[in-house]
Each structure stands twice: as C-alpha cells, then as structure tokens.
Copies of this chain bind each other. A is one copy, B any other.
Amino acid sequence: MALSGYDRGVRGERVDAVLQHMRERGGRITTALRAVVEVLDATDDHLTAQDIGAAVQAAHPAIHVSTVYRALDRLSEAGMVSHLHVGHAPVVYHLGQDDHHGHLVCGRCGAVLDVPATVMRPVATQVARDYGFTVEPSHLALGGLCSGCAVAGPTDARPSHTHG
C-alpha cells in the first residue's frame, strides 16, 4: 500500500544519507540504528514499531523492540523519520520529514496514501483565516475509504488490528 505519488529519492542511497546525517549530529551508528533505517528504506509502506521490530529481528534476532522505539525516537528528533497516528491502530513510521505531504488513511484496510501538501493547502488557508488554526501538513490525516475498499461499503473507521 502507501503508493507514493511522487519521488522520495533513490532507495539505498537514502540509508547512507540518513546515517551520515545522524553521524554528523553526533549520534552513533549502531547495528540497530542502521537496521531500522534499512527496513524503513526498503518499503513504501508505513510501518508500526512492531512491524519494524519484526523485520529487524529477521536479520538481527537480538535487537529488542524497545531499542527499535529508541532508534525511531532518535531518528524522529533528527527529523529523519516521521510518524503518523492512524485511527485506533498503532503509530506508523516512515522515512523522511513529511512536511511536504499529508496522508489518506483507509479506515477499512489501514492503507496509508501519501498526498502532496498542495492538495491540503486550500483547507489550511481557510482554517487559518477562519479559526486562527495553523495546520501542520505533516500531521494531517484524512480518514475514509481507499479506492479498493470503497466498493465494499461503508466503514466505522474500525479496521482489524492488522493493517496493510
């Protein structure tokens, strides 16, 4: 899912770029950190911490989920990873600061589609004017049904716990 409608950089190269950035920031490049970044880089999906943990452990069984959380924290602070709250499901993470896009979250299958921030701009402008509310495109999520699920009927925004 999470079919990116636009370019997000060349896969693989991104891993090095991110790690380089983390290094310059004074952080240490550990096995866990690298593994997390690689997992995130290897997919267009928006992954939960558990998803990432499982993927990381496939290669490095000793790496604990709590370490994944801490790596994600570190990456978030550095602005290299963003998170998104999708309904009642766990938080999903993805590579890159997403200042430049919003999200469409399917309430049925849990898919997350990225949309350029430009789509959101009109609403952002209007609520700024009418409510004094500053929309942060990065933390923007529109609930609804993706094209695949729309044919299956309405939703209660209560998808099964697994997503994707």
- Contact residues of A with B, CB < 8 Å? 5, 76, 85-88, 91, 104, 106-107, 113, 115, 119-120, 122-124, 126-127, 130-136, 138-147, 150, 155-157
Contact = CB atoms under 8 A, between A and B. Distances in A.
B91 A88 contact: yes
B143 A131 contact: no
Contact of A107 (B91, B139, B141, B146): B139
Contact of A85 (B88, B131, B132): B88
Given A136-B145, A136-B157, 19 more contacts: A85-B88, A88-B91, A104-B131, A107-B139, A113-B133, A119-B126, A119-B130, A122-B122, A123-B142, A132-B150, A133-B147, A134-B144, A135-B143, A135-B144, A136-B143, A136-B144, A138-B157, A140-B144, A141-B143
Contacts of A86: 85
Nearest to A157: B139
Query: Chain A: interface secondary structure?
Result: mixed
Given A88-B91, A123-B123, A136-B155, A115 B131 contact: yes
Contacts of A85: 85-88
A91 B89 CA distance: 11
A124 to B, nearest CB: 8
A143 B139 contact: yes
B133 A123 contact: no
A142 B127 contact: yes
